[in-house]
């Protein structure tokens, strides 16, 4: 049998921004899937009545849970914006190197503007110390 070359793998390629955006898109998708557990918990608490909801609200008001919710909001903003970028690629737009770099910068700009705003509005606006 002839000696066949191995397929290239991650250590062959030079790390590029497209690899980073792809890795982050997958990671945020996994994080959002895990975040669904909090959403289901909230829905169950709402369906369980006032006492159940008060218990969940006390749990969600703790700083580690707020930090987790903040990371989930950040993940959502990135996954949403990069998902639109992927949809434009599926339609055949923005595939050239310069266009892909520009769209990556637009995704990051969107995240840097929208995530802090949403985190403030959802977690800290009207919160009492």
Cα 76 to Cα 35: distance, rounded to the nearest angstrom: 10
For 14-35, how does the pLDDT look when each residue is reduced to its tens digit (9 = 90+)? 777 888 899 999 999 999 999 9
Q: Is residue 1 part of a domain?
A: no
The whole-angstrom distance between residue 66's C-alpha and the CA centroid of its chain comes to 16
Q: Is residue 15 part of a domain?
A: no
Instruction: Give the H or E element holding residue 70.
Output: helix 63-90
Q: Is residue 13 part of a domain?
A: no
For 40-66, how does the pLDDT look when each residue is reduced to its tens digit (9 = 90+)? 999 999 999 999 999 999 999 999 999
**pTM of the complete model:** 0.84
Q: Is residue 11 part of a domain?
A: no
- Considering only CA atoms, which of 120, 19, 129, 124 is closest in space to residue 74? 120
For 72-123, how does the pLDDT look when each residue is reduced to its tens digit (9 = 90+)? 999 999 999 999 999 999 999 999 989 999 999 999 999 999 999 999 998 8
Q: Is residue 89 part of a domain?
A: yes
Here the CATH number for the domain that contains residue 114 is 1.20.1300.10
Q: Is residue 24 part of a domain?
A: yes
Please tell me the total count of domains within the chain.
1
For 33-46, how does the pLDDT look when each residue is reduced to its tens digit (9 = 90+)? 999 999 999 999 99
Q: Which domain holds residue 28?
A: 20-123
């Amino acid at each position: 049998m002839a000696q066949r070359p191995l397929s290239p793998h991650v250590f062959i390629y030079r790390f590029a921004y497209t690899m980073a955006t792809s890795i982050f898109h997958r990671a945020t998708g996994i994080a959002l899937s895990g975040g669904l557990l909090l959403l289901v918990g909230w829905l169950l608490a709402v369906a369980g009545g006032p006492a159940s909801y008060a218990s969940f609200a006390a749990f969600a008001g703790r700083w580690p849970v707020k930090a987790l919710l903040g990371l989930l909001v950040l993940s959502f903003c990135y996954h949403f914006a990069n998902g639109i970028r992927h949809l434009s690629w599926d339609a055949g737009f923005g595939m050239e190197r310069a266009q892909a770099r520009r769209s990556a910068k637009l995704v990051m700009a969107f995240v840097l503007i929208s995530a802090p705003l949403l985190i403030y509005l959802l977690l800290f606006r009207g919160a009492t110390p």
